[in-house]
Structure 1
Amino acid sequence: MSGWIASGWLRRWLAPRWQHPDPEIRRQAALRLEPGKDAEHRQLARLARDPDAGVRQAALSRLVAPRPLLAWLGDEAASQELRHRLVELLSGRDGDLPLAERLPLVETLEDADLLEALALEGDNQQLRLAALARIDDEARLIRQACDNGIAGVRRAAAERITSEAGLTRLAREARRDKQVARQARKALAALRANESQAREALAARERLLETVEQQAQAPWEPLFGGRFRHLQREWEALQSPPSRAQELRYQEACLRCRKILSDHEARHQAHQAATQRQADADQVRRELVEALEESLSALQRSDLLTAQDIASLQSQKRLLATRWQALSDQHVPDADLRRRYDQALSDYDTITQAWEGLRGPTAAIEEALTQADPAALAAALADCPWPDHLPPTPLLKRARAALERSDAAEADQQPSLAWLDKELDELQHLLERGAFKGASRLHQSLRHRLEGVSGEAYAPALARFRRLAAQLAELRDWRGFVAGPKRDQLCQAIEALAEETQLGDRELDHQHRRLVKEWKELGSAAATRDLAERFRAASDRIHERLAPWKSARQAERQRHLEAREALCEQLEALLAHPDPAADPDALREIRDRAREQWRHHSPVPREQAESIGRRFGRIRHDLQGLIDRRAQEIAGAKRELIDAARELLDDAAPIDRRTTEAKRLQQRWRSLGRAPKGEEQILWREFRGLCDQLFAHREAERDDLARRAKARLDTMQTLIDRLDAWQPQVSGDAETLDRAIAEAEALEPLPSGRRSEGMRRRWSGIVRARRERLLRLAVSEEVARWQALRPLLDAHLAADAQALAGESSAEVPEPATLEGDMRQAHERRNAARRQPSSTQEVEEQLIRLRVHLALLAGEPVGQQDEPLRLAIQVERLNEGRGRELSRAEEVHAVLRELLATGPIPAELWAREVHDLDTLLARLWHLPPP
């Protein structure tokens, strides 16, 4: 023990004075250090952070350069003495730093307390204004406006106060400067007037905005557009600018109104366009049907039915069928119009079938006419399936006329004049047309009937017959004159063509057909056996050469026919068992591909072309009807989706759930397929508009959540600033801290983000610092209460000395203010003198209490007391398993035991009291606020 004391004394004796344990010696050493020397400057820097305030003040008084001190200002250990020294240096009260160097330093300061002090104490108005410009806290600005000694600074501070609460306080507290008070009252009146006008304008704009939003929710009606434009003009006429939220709401409502107008206009235009297209298609179809019906009717009313009439009718029917199908692909025809079209096609089929059926009996009729065999002619006409309601062909007409003449000859050898005039008119008509073959046959028949006819009554008719016979002879001579060179030319051309080897098969067939057609058109004019045999021989050679190509072409046409029939069968199977959920787009693709395949498989045999074409036309019509039905079903399903979206818009469920359901509806919309053309766009615009409104509501709600989150963050920031500016003065201020913590917990959860994380870290640090200060305050208060008990302790020490000296001592009376466990400790101390313990036990107890206090004060202990310190720490850990005592409670417990320990010898107390007082002083010392 004595060796340790000696070594400690030696260290104190040899240590530098600025490191001496005694604060007074360190303070005196600091006053002697020179800051101009680097080593002593570093020593002053360390002493400026000394735990003792006097040492810090002495060290800082020796430093005159403010820049290093400003660097220390940001440390956590920055002291009040440091701020005071900076105020002295920067304000000009101490040091000789010129204003030009002090101003840049002031303009970089962030410490609000230091800035406020400089604004109040600066030696120059410019310096004060520079410090004032760095102050943002309104409360500090109010103090400057009220208490600053320079009028210019007061007014500059007053000009920066803009809040109503700040102006009200400034007008009430600015008694030193009437001009500042008057300025504050004027600004307050203007602010309140502006706020009143702003509130009125905001209310007016809000009422107008609600009207616009109601208009956006209303359905379309004739006055919708005019009312919307009137509301727009009223909105633009308002003077006050809208808030961002109001502008967003207004733009959203305007978008909905414009969408309602555009949707109505689009629906109206689409409906008009669809109606017009339907009407145009019906009109074109009606014109086509009427044209075909008129042609059929005119054909049936005509006198003769010629090959030219049939060819013209077939061409008209093909054109009509093509255009009818193209129009039916776009719009389904009317049922009555469809029936008229089918009836017209039926009449057309009757005529064409009759014409095709006439090809067989034609040869027999011509043979009977040539041989003038009435019986064979009658039999041939009987076998001819020609409808009675159709006009006869020229051949049938001649045959019937010949048969009538034969019947008339049998009944009466002399033909009637009326019949004769009729036949002569027919002969003249044939000659005028140049129909040599028909005219020749009729002339031969008439000549046979007029043999033996005489009399004055027949003289004009016979003269007319002779003139017509002369014309026929002239026509025969002319045809022979023209046809002779032509026939020779055709023979040479076909022989040259038969020898041609460079032409392809298709071109060869085309030219061969052309030459054969020209040969047949010559009829019997200038016909000779040699030319006919030459022409036929060359034609046969061409036929033999083209036989493989024609066979291949016929096979190809047959394959095309089979492919078309297979295509028709597939489409008929599809139409026979249609899928109830078939996609119209897929059906449209099937229709288009079928049309492409139909065109690809061409040509087909001529005999089946008409029937297979009608079959495919009916299939296309039925397929288009299926597409239209499915498209209408999809349109109905999409209208149901629109109704569901409208219900979601009016639902009160959470917006996230409604938008999720809207997304599901959109997926369902995409999976349905397309509605009819024109209607799809209208339905989509309506559905998309409803979904856009839902998502706009979601965005508005998110903006509202963001505003509320920002409000919570601002409130939390205000709470943090308030708690940061607050310093507890007594331990009872813990209730204020608890209330602040409750307020912070009520604001949770804060929105995620760096700002929130920074707030939480700052809040945790402030709360931790305030709790630490409250604990230090509680310990300081406990030490202060102990200091108040020093007279009682001194009385006990005096009584202990009398008891240890063997003198009788009276009990120390109990003070009136003593209470609780301290009263019990006082009673134990009195009792201990009556039954004193050994001096060694008292010494051990006193040392234990000193080591415990050192442990609580965070001070080191001697080497000989280290085991005791470890033992006390273990006891503290064991005792803290149930409820850990605070440091103030432990200090109270140690002081209570110190009061109860006794009797203490005077020399023992004199040895320990200095360390106990030092430790208590350390516990009593508070950190700067």
Structure 2
Amino acid sequence: MKIGSLTQKWQHKDASIRLRAVQAATLDQEILIELGQSDPDFEVRRTAILQINDPTVLRLLADDVNVNQVATSRWAAILGSDLANFDKINENLPEFLLIRLVTEADQPDIRYKAASLITNQTRLEEILFTPNHSRVHQLCASNLDDETKLEQVHKHYLDKDKNVARIVKSKLQAIKKEREQVLQFETELSKTLDAIEKLADSENIDGLERRLSVLNDKWASLKSTCSADHQDRYNKAQFLCQQLIDESVALKGKPIEEAKSVLCSLRNLTEKFQGAASDLETLSQSLSAAGNCWPKGQDMAPFYSLFNPLENLHNQFEIWSAISKELASLHPEQLTRRMAALQWPEGFAEPDEIVKTRMGIEEHLTQIQKAKTGHRNRIKEVEEKLNQLESAITDGHLKQANRLRTSIKNKFNQFPAPQRLLNRSHLLATKLNELRDWQDFVTNPKREELCIGMDKLANDLSIHPREKARAIKELQDQWKKLGPSNNKQAQRLWTRFRKLGNLAFEPCGKYFESQKKAREQNFTERKKICASLELFLEENDWQKANWKLVVDIINKSRQEWHQYSDIPRSNRKKIQDRFNRVLDGLQEKLKSEFSRNQAKKSALIEEMRGLTEIDVPTTQATAQARVLQTKWKDVGVTDRYADRKLWKQFRTECDKVFNRRDEKLALDRKKQNETADATRSVLNSFDDLLKSDQAIHRNDINSFKKQFNAISQQRNQSSIRNEFQRLIKSAETILSQQAQTSKHQMIAELKRLSELCNQFEIGKIDAATLDGNWQSEVALDKKFTKRINLRREGSNKADPAEAEKLCIQLEILAGIESPPESAQARMAYQVERLNREFSQGNKQTISVEDQSTGIQVSWYCLPSMTLNDELNARFQRAEAVLGI
């Protein structure tokens, strides 16, 4: 490369300088393409290629073996992020570039489309064994057809990506199914060819045409995919078969009538033996004759269809004949086996001897089965009882164990038990005897304790009889739990325990006797209650009944009835039925009264509900509700349960009325509170404004008045109104003070500006100084500003007479004398003013303060040449007198 005096860095002969120039990323694409294509240094080429953005150039560079990898990678990076660009150039791309896109493209859609263009099985396998998106792996798996590779991929993805594993498994199954179908086709093809060639070589031409037709139909479904050799083999065999058929047709004309006669005789035999099993001995001769009479060469199918069942019948008859000869000497089991070999043809009648023999065998087998079942059940029952006996011995339940032992002995007497059960029973009997001895040893001291306990009960008279009876029962139960008394010592203890128990129960017996008498007395009292209620039910005047008294009588009767509840058990149902009958009679009388009163209360409920449903004023609804409550109390008796339900409804409607009243009161209170809060907020805001340093304006006062008047005040809130009027007065005072202060400030500012104008007019300051000092923080009134600006601009004309007039006016307001030389002018002004007030009706109504302010404004807006020292002195003296 030739380098001139003005050579660029990327053209420098030093490769490192060229590399730095490329790394600076400032070169144009044309330069980068030139370097990437032809630079002698590999690192320069690689760095330049990594910055090239043209996929077409990169595609060409990818064919260069020296920079193939870097160019391919850069090409994949660019296309991998631009789907639209990829769609334009994706045709005829080599697979190595597609592989790069599949593995390096940024967009999953580009990877997917690139993978869809790859057909090489090895490349697809490589992609499946490298990390990538699941969609890409699934697509590659769908396009992979090599069985060996599919098996490897399936093994690899079993525990990684179930979707890929499922696709691969489906492909493998499809390949296996296709292989099986091919193998099945080849097998069928081979079988068909072998069958037709065998048929062509066969000497038996019976049914040849039918069999050939079947093979032709089968070959029609196979020939579309068979080879030419297979087709030639089939055609040759088919030709030979057709020749045989043609020859057989020529040989026809057999004696059909003879065949028909044989078939008729066979049908007659079949019908005969289907109806009855007689003359079976002659069947063999008949079959032999039919076989000899059948014409040769005739189709045997009709013959055998009738002959074979009859031949089978003859064979089974021969078997039965052999069995019947040995019937008396055969054991039942032997006979059963022999009869099992006898398979009488279906449709033919069986001989009566065979039927009887089968029934006898079935009955014998049934008895044997019953005997076996009964034996097994007995063994099972004994085993269960032995298990129960073993558990009872283990748990120490002697009484239960004795019962089980007796039951087992009885079972052994009913059937021959196996020796193993007898041995186990003997072993358990030994353990049971040991348990008896041990329990006698253990339980006798406990029996002694129970006797002592019973003795204490017998001698302790402080225990209540009911409690003593319960304690006696507990001791007796404990004695029973100890089991039977099998030895002499236990028998002596039992006699002692029984005597002590009888002695201890004597006071209990007396107590229970007294209780019996009390129950009899209670029974008598209950009868009296029933009698009195029956008398009341019969004699009371129910037309003028005191229903509250009736209810009280019923309630009192129930209380007394419950008081005398302890009566003899045998009399309970009868007396209770009598009490229920008389109560039912009284309740029936009450029922109509209850209904009338319930109707009245229901009407009150509806009336109360009407107060909530119609638009009734709250006050009126509340008063009416109280009236209805009083009426409710005046209604007579009602059923307690129904009254409770009605009262709940009435109370609900009452609550609605009173809730509406409470809601109105709460709403009124809320409005009052809101009004008070809003008023107080206005007053507080007004007071805060007055106390602050902020200037007050007339709009502020008007705004607070508007807010205050917008809030509806109660008549009893005069104190609030008075407080607001006080604040208004304070605001007016402050507003007046503010106005006065503002005027003084404006006059002072006007004096300052007038002095600036004086100095400018006499030449002491220039215009720039005047402008620089003109601005001020005090805002003048618009009229003041306009007039002083006219002076500043030099628009005001000098008028000495006007100046003297202004000075005289201020002196008159101050109440001081003007100099003698101004007396005539003063007199003229006063005459002019009086003339204006009396003759023209223009009476002066402006305050002294406002008049003095107007004079001052006019004075200070006069040019300096209009004024002299004497007038200034006079004007200042008048200002001092007025204090302005």
- TM-score bracket relative to the smaller structure: under 0.3
User: Which entry has the higher C-alpha Rg, 1 or 2?
Assistant: 2
TM-score scaled by length of structure 2? 0.25
Q: Which has the higher contact order (CA 8 A, sep 6+)?
A: 1
TM-score scaled by length of structure 1? 0.24
